[in-house]
């Protein structure tokens, strides 16, 4: 604050919201003696007019702001020098402005620089005159000169300094870097993100493949291809990042115990002529994993049934207009099937259940999943409509439309795709009449719905005679986990479901 | 564009909405004849009349209760707490009624409560607090903490047209200190979108309100060290812009969360926890918090300075992180 014993007089804060003040009158002139707390000037703010007492005793060395001027709170107005000193001494400049701590010497920088200079001097570089100079460059370029704890990274010492931050560990894993080769500039010689990025950019990571010439563990193969003398080794200079297999990162470098990974999945080599290669999206990987796991888990069996949809077609024809006008909702065949399925599942709790450990779990609700193809045709997602047992036909139609739209627009929340108890998939839109879908784990069944097709159908006329009529027929399949659901149960489920659809009445919702 | 102080920008936003929408009215202690303790509503009663600029009794419960009722009947009330600190009297109405009404009954409660908050002028323990984290914790309430005049106006207009209860924390320290160009026409600034106050590469500061400027001063000093600091001004604490915060955390890998509110349970804790959860593998150092210590705001100027995070505190924190 006060250099020597000079005291600065600043525009005081005269109230909560006051930011500036105007000098109305100086009560002393430059050179006048003044006692502590004696009135020095008068100011006016938008709240009060007041005198400002002198914060120190001595003489008014300098008046910085003249009468009539308005300045911000904290601005230096005058300087009081100790008695006996000359008037007109220097202040830092009129715009020193706000806060006094800015005047403090910049200690950390200087200190660091001094230390640096000392270190340099010990190597016989510096003389005294240079000690001042590095003040500027030292803090600016810490990355270039390995700082004092040079012993740190030597030989991969395994003490506290080898701590890897998450991001460093990740980068090391992605680029197959042996972190002990990287010069650390962080606290205690820690390797920082910048250090390792610079190391990777310098290309050192590829050259410095460490000597542990033992046969490379699988993850090393994928991380640093050149180490493996494989005939498909790519000669390209910059290493393409590995196929993002997140590995426990620190291990690659430090612990050579080969964690046996399942199948290293044939090294992704260059495509042969005529082939094209594209990366697998996270969704595709998820689908791949799930489908495989489902087939490995459940004993898949599929049963099919044919349903005469005449009544549904007729009722839908009527409702379409009504729902469309009143609610803006299209009562699709799928919503009829979904509605009938939920009703039927009430009587077949195991088909709406799951095997959990050695227990069978059933529910008093149905969270219905709907398999939805994404717009680009490159993915599939199964959003779930919760508590469908509480939905009538209109509610079901609305829910299905809404969730499918959100799925296509990629606006689903994590909650939207969890908690399903049974799933419906509807590949019938393309005219297919049969399929064997894969169960969405850990559920016990999945219903497939297929195209409604006009077929010649044997029905009985009013005399009880068999006649051939043209009827809209839809195939339904139930794929079930035979560990839990037996064929007879599945058959009864399909029979009841068909009965509901074939006898759909005007007043059924 | 016109140059306005932070305070003038708030007035301007409020006046704009009152002129545009007859449902908007102001209620609070001394907001009418006196023009408000800080003069935000100076001249409002003359322009809009005593029925739209209502001097209330000294009863925050009554103010917020009246607003809640009026909002449910279709009005757009803007309440002023003379100081943010006094809102604790209205806690029950805000938290039990206003915040939950929409969820209980589907009725929107479009009220705005203006809260002059923050310290730095020896206001003492009853006139200096930053209670945003208490309310950010209540589902159903939104919390806005603008740092610039332009944001103050745009966010206030957004707050008034929002169908939910919004707490608008305006920092007293910025009222007349901060001036900048503000569009004269009506505009809105969306909730939940942070503003990059300063772009940088080495360390991120996540902050809001008056601390944006403290961080800005500190960043200048770090710049002299050759450290480039990024400052993210959240603008709204609830909802808050996770994406912007996480993007900055991923970019710099070192994060300092700075706020003027006290440390324990302050909103910085939520931010730090989210970064740890969502950006763990991108971190190159511990997520650091700088906040006021866990005690009431002291009156003594010396103690208050020690209490509120100062530029030097932030500089020290940033240097530590940069060197980590």
Which residues from B are below 8 Å from A169, CB to CB? 281
Using the Cβ of A188 and the Cβ atoms of chain B, whether some distance falls under 8 Å is answered with: no
Phi, psi dihedral angles at A306 (to 5 degrees)? -105, 135
**Does residue B256 sit in helix, strand or coil?**
strand
Q: Could you say which of A290, A416, A482, A496 is catalytic?
A: A482
CATH class of A285-502: alpha beta
Domain assignment of residue B189, yes or no: no
| Residue B188 resides in a domain | no
Assess whether B144 and B237 both reside in one domain.
Answer: no
Q: Which residues of B touch A71 (CB under 8 A)?
A: none
Mind listing the pLDDT tens digit for each residue in A420-461?
999 999 888 788 889 999 999 899 999 999 999 999 999 988
CB-CB under 8 Å, B284 with A13 = no
Asked if residue B217 and residue B303 are part of one domain, the reply reads: yes
Measure the CA–CA gap between B39 and B30, rounded to whole angstroms: 9
- Whether A147 and chain B come into contact, CB under 8 Å, resolves to no
Burial of B106 (C-beta count, 10 Å sphere; 0-12/13-18/19+):
exposed
Answer yes or no: do A186 and B175 touch at CB < 8 A: no
* pLDDT reported for residue A210: 43
Catalytic residue among B127, B171, B197, B259: B127
Q: Say if residue B239 is preceded by a cis peptide, omega within 30 of 0.
A: yes
Task: State how many domains chain B has.
Answer: 2
Which sequence spans correspond to the domains of chain A? 7-103, 107-140, 154-228+244-251, 285-502
Whether residue B261 is contained in a domain is answered as yes
Q: Does A19 reach chain B within 8 Å, measured CB to CB?
A: yes
Known catalytic residue at A308: no
Low-confidence ranges of chain A (pLDDT < 70): 1-4, 14-18, 46-49, 84-162, 204-269, 375, 509
pLDDT at A84: 67
pLDDT digit string, tens, across residues B273-282: 999 999 999 9
Q: Which of A108, A141, A168 shows the shortest C-beta gap to B284? A: A168
Helices (H), chain B: 6-20, 44-48, 60-72, 91, 99-105, 132-136, 149-161, 211-224, 242-252, 267-278, 301-307, 311-323
- Chain A contact for B287 (CB, 8 A cutoff): no
Q: Picking from A210-219, A349-358, B246-255, B297-306, which range would have the lowest pLDDT averaged per residue?
A: A210-219
Is the CB of B283 less than 8 angstroms away from the CB of A15?
Answer: no
**Which pLDDT belongs to residue A134?**
41
Q: Which residues of A touch B176 (CB under 8 A)?
A: 17-20
Within a domain: B163: yes
**Chain A residues in contact with B172 (beta carbon < 8 A):** 16-17
* Residue B25 shares a structural domain with residue B157: yes
Give the CATH number of the domain where residue B295 resides. Answer: 3.40.50.920
- Say yes or no: B167 and B208 in one domain: no
**Best to test chain B binding among A166, A174, A198 (most B CBs inside 10 Å):** A166
Q: Which of B30, B226, B283 to mutate to test the interface with A (most CBs of A within 10 A)?
A: B226
Q: Say whether both B215 and B169 belong to one domain.
A: no
B242 touches chain A (CB under 8 A): no
Same domain for B203 and B252: yes
Check CB contact under 8 Å for A16 and B172: yes
Q: Is residue B187 part of a domain?
A: no
Which chain B residues are within 8 Å of A190, Cβ to Cβ?
Answer: 324
Question: Are A187 and B324 within 8 A, CB to CB?
Answer: yes
What's the rounded Cα separation, in Å, for the pair A342 and A344?
A: 5
Q: With an 8 Å Cβ cutoff, are A167 and B324 in contact?
A: no
The confidence band for B294, taking pLDDT boundaries of 50, 70 and 90, is very high
Report in angstroms the alpha-carbon separations of A475 from A431, A440, A448, B313: 11, 21, 8, 72
Residues B41 and B166 in one domain: yes
Its domain, for residue B261, covers: 195-323
Instruction: Classify the phi-psi angles of A189: left when phi > 0, otherwise alpha if psi is within -120 to 50, otherwise beta.
Output: left
Rounded to 5 degrees, what angle do the CA atoms B181, B183, B189 make?
Answer: 105
Q: Would an 8 Å CB–CB cutoff place A90 in contact with chain B?
A: no
Provide the CATH number for the domain around residue B66.
Answer: 3.40.50.970
**CB nearest to A16's CB, from B123, B280, B311:** B123
The set of residues, in sequence order, having a beta carbon less than 8 Å from that of A7 and lying 6+ positions away, is A54, A55, A56, A58, A79, A80
Decide: B205 and B219 in contact? Cβ < 8 Å: yes
**Residue predicted with more confidence, A96 or B124:** B124
Domain identity same for B130 and B240 = no
B323 touches chain A (CB under 8 A): yes
Domain ends where: B182, B209, B243?
Answer: B182
Residue B110: pLDDT above 60? Answer: yes
**Chosen from B126, B221, B284, B302 to mutate, greatest number of chain A CBs within 10 A:** B284
Interface check for A72 against chain B (CB to CB < 8 A): the answer is yes
Q: Which long-range contacts link A231-234 to residues 24+ away (Cβ below 8 Å)? A: A232/A267, A232/A269, A232/A270, A234/A270
Contact present, B94 and B66 (Cβ < 8 Å):
no
Q: Do B311 and A168 touch (CB under 8 A)?
A: no
Tell me the ipTM for this assembly.
0.79
User: What is the per-residue pLDDT for A161?
Assistant: 52
- This prediction's pTM: 0.50
Q: Last residue of a domain, which of B182, B210, B239?
A: B182
Identify the architecture of domain A7-103 in CATH: Beta Barrel (2.40)
Same domain membership, residue B220 and residue B156: no
Instruction: Give the orientation angle of helix A310-327 with respect to helix A393-408, to 10 degrees.
Output: 70
Tens digit of each residue's pLDDT (9 = 90 or more) over B185-201: 999 999 999 999 999 99
């Amino acid at each position: 604050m006060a250099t020597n014993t000079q005291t600065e007089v600043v525009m005081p804060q005269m109230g909560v919201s006051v930011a500036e003040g105007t000098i109305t009158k100086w009560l002393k002139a430059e050179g006048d003696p003044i006692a502590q707390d004696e009135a020095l000037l008068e100011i006016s703010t938008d709240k009060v007019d007041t005198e400002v007492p002198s914060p120190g005793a001595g003489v008014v060395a300098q008046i910085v702001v003249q009468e009539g001027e308005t300045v911000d709170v904290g601005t230096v107005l005058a300087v009081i020098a100790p008695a006996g000193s000359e008037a007109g001494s220097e202040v830092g400049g009129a715009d020193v402005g706000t806060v006094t701590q800015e005047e403090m010497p910049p200690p950390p920088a200087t200190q660091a620089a001094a230390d640096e200079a000392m270190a340099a001097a010990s190597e016989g570089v510096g003389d005294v005159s240079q000690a001042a100079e590095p003040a500027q460059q030292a803090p600016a370029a810490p990355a270039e000169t390995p700082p004092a704890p040079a012993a740190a990274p030597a030989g991969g010492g395994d003490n506290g300094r080898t701590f890897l931050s998450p991001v460093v560990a990740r980068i090391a894993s992605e680029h197959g870097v042996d972190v002990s080769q990287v010069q650390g500039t962080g606290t205690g010689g820690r390797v920082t993100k910048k250090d390792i990025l610079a190391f990777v950019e310098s290309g050192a990571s590829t050259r410095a493949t460490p000597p542990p010439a033992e046969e490379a563990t699988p993850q090393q193969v994928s991380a640093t291809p050149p180490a493996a003398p494989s005939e498909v080794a790519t000669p390209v200079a910059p290493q393409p990042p590995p196929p993002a297999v997140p590995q426990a990162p620190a291990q690659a470098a430090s612990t050579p115990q080969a964690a046996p990974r399942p199948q290293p999945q044939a090294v992704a080599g260059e495509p042969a002529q005529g082939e094209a290669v594209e990366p697998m999206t996270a969704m595709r990987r998820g689908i791949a994993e799930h489908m495989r796991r489902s087939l490995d888990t459940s004993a898949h069996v599929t049963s099919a049934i044919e349903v005469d949809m005449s009544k549904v077609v007729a009722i839908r024809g009527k409702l379409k207009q009504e729902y469309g006008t009143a609610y803006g909702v299209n009562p699709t065949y799928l919503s009829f099937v979904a509605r009938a399925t939920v009703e039927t599942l009430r009587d077949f709790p195991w088909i709406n259940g799951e095997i959990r450990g050695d227990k069978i779990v059933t529910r008093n609700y149905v969270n219905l999943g709907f398999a939805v193809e994404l717009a680009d045709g490159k993915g599939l997602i199964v959003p779930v409509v919760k508590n469908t047992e509480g939905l009538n036909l209109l509610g079901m139609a609305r829910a299905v439309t809404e969730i499918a739209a959100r799925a296509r627009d990629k606006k689903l929340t994590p909650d939207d795709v969890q908690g399903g108890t049974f799933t419906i998939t509807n590949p019938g839109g393309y005219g297919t009449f049969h399929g064997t879908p894969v169960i969405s784990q850990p559920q016990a069944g999945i219903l497939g719905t297929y195209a409604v097709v006009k077929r010649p159908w044997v029905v009985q006329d009013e005399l009880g005679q068999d006649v051939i009529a043209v009827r809209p027929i839809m195939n339904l399949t139930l794929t079930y986990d035979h560990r839990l659901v037996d064929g007879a149960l599945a058959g009864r489920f399909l029979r009841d479901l068909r009965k509901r659809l074939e006898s759909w009445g005007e007043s059924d919702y | 564009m016109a140059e306005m102080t932070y305070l003038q920008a708030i007035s301007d936003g409020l006046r704009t909405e009152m002129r545009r929408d007859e449902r908007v009215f102001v209620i609070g202690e001394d907001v009418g004849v006196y023009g408000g303790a800080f003069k935000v509503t100076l001249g409002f009663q003359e322009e809009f009349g005593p029925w739209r600029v209502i001097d209330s009794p000294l009863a925050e419960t009554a103010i917020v209760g009246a607003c809640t009722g009026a909002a449910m009947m279709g009005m757009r009330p803007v309440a002023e707490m003379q100081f943010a600190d006094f809102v604790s009297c209205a806690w029950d109405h805000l938290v039990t009624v206003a915040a939950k009404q929409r969820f209980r009954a589907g009725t929107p409660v479009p009220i705005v409560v203006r809260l002059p908050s923050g310290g730095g002028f020896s206001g003492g323990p009853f006139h200096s607090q930053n209670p945003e984290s208490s309310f950010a914790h209540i589902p159903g309430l939104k919390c806005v903490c603008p740092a610039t005049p332009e944001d103050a106006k745009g966010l206030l207009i957004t707050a008034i047209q929002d169908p939910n209860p919004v707490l608008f924390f305006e920092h007293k320290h910025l009222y007349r200190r901060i001036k900048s160009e503000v569009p004269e026409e009506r505009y809105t600034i969306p909730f939940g979108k942070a503003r990059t106050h300063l772009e940088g590469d080495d360390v991120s500061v996540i902050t809001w309100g008056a601390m944006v400027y403290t961080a800005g001063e500190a960043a200048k000093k770090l710049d002299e060290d050759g450290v480039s600091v990024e400052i993210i001004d959240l603008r709204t604490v609830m909802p808050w812009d996770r994406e912007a915060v996480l993007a900055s955390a991923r970019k710099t890998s070192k994060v300092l969360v700075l706020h003027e509110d006290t440390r324990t349970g302050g909103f910085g804790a939520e931010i730090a926890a989210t970064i740890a959860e969502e950006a763990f593998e991108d971190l190159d150092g511990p997520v650091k918090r700088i906040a006021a210590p866990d005690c009431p705001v002291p009156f003594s100027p010396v103690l208050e300075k020690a209490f509120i995070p100062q530029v030097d505190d932030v500089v020290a924190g940033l240097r530590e992180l940069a060197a980590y």
